[in-house]
Amino acid sequence: METLSLIQSISQTTNAAGSAFYFDPATLAKGKELGLDGFRFYVLGRGSVLGDVDAAVITSAFAYFAPATIDKIWTSAKEKLAPAAAAAAYNQCCADLGLAKLAGIDGLDAYNEAAEAVVAATELAGFSLFAGWAAQPRSQEPAARAMQLIALLRELRGDAHIVALRASGVSAPVAHAIKRPGDVATFGWDPAPTIGTDDAAKCEAAEALTDQLLVPSYAGLSDAQAAALVFGTEAIGAALA
């Protein structure tokens, strides 16, 4: 399969499946056990792979959120749970969803092999959140590992997309308002960002550039690995839907 076609064929499902554990009931229950509501566990758990950092670093990595919103949530969450502990707990929640939902799916070993090849081929420069999650331990159990890997490939595309947005001349808040207009206030933007007449076209250009930025990560896959990645992505997506 041609590399761009491969990237495009898995992007939507990877995005949805890779975030499935964020607000899963089991994840929310774990956050509550640790003294964190769902949103605080999401921000602290996902962002803590960057370390015990200032909120501005998390704003940079998450991109779509208003700085004041991240500052409030990140700072208050850190008062309840150390970032290293949050990252470990969030990583385990990801693995646990894989164990619960993906066990018994055919082709997971081949999917994991292909996904690991993508991770290994990726240059880390500019991809901070991906790099942080790539450094986290992954389960040896195929279903848990597959969930961790599809979440990691989601972070890879997310980091590439932030770079592409900046290169395409559209701000992250504007891109978020175009892509998810119903979530503008939830992400802390009030009033909503002003959308320019050419911003939608710039967002489309950024999507295309995102695909191009990912080519080096996927280009080294064999035909068999590419097929395994597509098959596994579809199977994981169906199981989590």
- pLDDT digits 0-9 by tens, 88-106: 999 999 999 999 999 999 9
Contact 129, 50 (CB under 8 A): yes
In this predicted structure, what is the pLDDT of residue 139? 98
Residue type, 14: T
Output b/e per residue, 4-15; b: 16+ Cβ within 10 A.
eebbebbbebbb
Structure tokens, 128: 């901070």
Nearest CA to 152 out of 45, 12, 17 is that of 17
In this predicted structure, what is the pLDDT of residue 1? 79
pTM for this entry? 0.96
Contact 236, 100 (CB under 8 A): no
| Calpha distance 117→113 (Å, rounded) | 6
pLDDT in tens, the chain (241 residues): 799 999 999 999 999 999 999 999 999 999 999 999 999 999 999 999 999 999 999 999 999 999 999 999 999 999 999 999 999 999 999 999 999 999 999 999 999 999 999 999 999 999 999 999 999 999 999 999 999 999 999 999 999 999 999 999 999 899 999 988 998 998 999 888 999 999 999 999 999 999 999 999 999 999 999 999 999 999 999 999 9
Domain residue limits, the chain: 3-240
| Calpha distance 127→157 (Å, rounded) | 9
Contact 234, 173 (CB under 8 A): no
In this predicted structure, what is the pLDDT of residue 36? 98
Contact 205, 197 (CB under 8 A): no
In this predicted structure, what is the pLDDT of residue 142? 98
Grouping H, G, I as helix, E, B as strand and the rest as coil, residue 192 is coil
In this predicted structure, what is the pLDDT of residue 192? 87
Q: How wide is the angle at C-alpha 71 spanned by C-alphas 68 and 77, nearest 5°?
A: 140
- pLDDT digits 0-9 by tens, 8-43: 999 999 999 999 999 999 999 999 999 999 999 999
Residue type, 43: V
Structure tokens, 118: 């993508």
| Calpha distance 10→12 (Å, rounded) | 6
Q: Is the peptide bond before 142 cis (omega within 30 degrees of 0)?
A: no
Q: Give the torsion through C-alpha atoms of 148, 153, 155, 156, to 10 deg.
A: 150
Structure tokens, 183: 């979530």
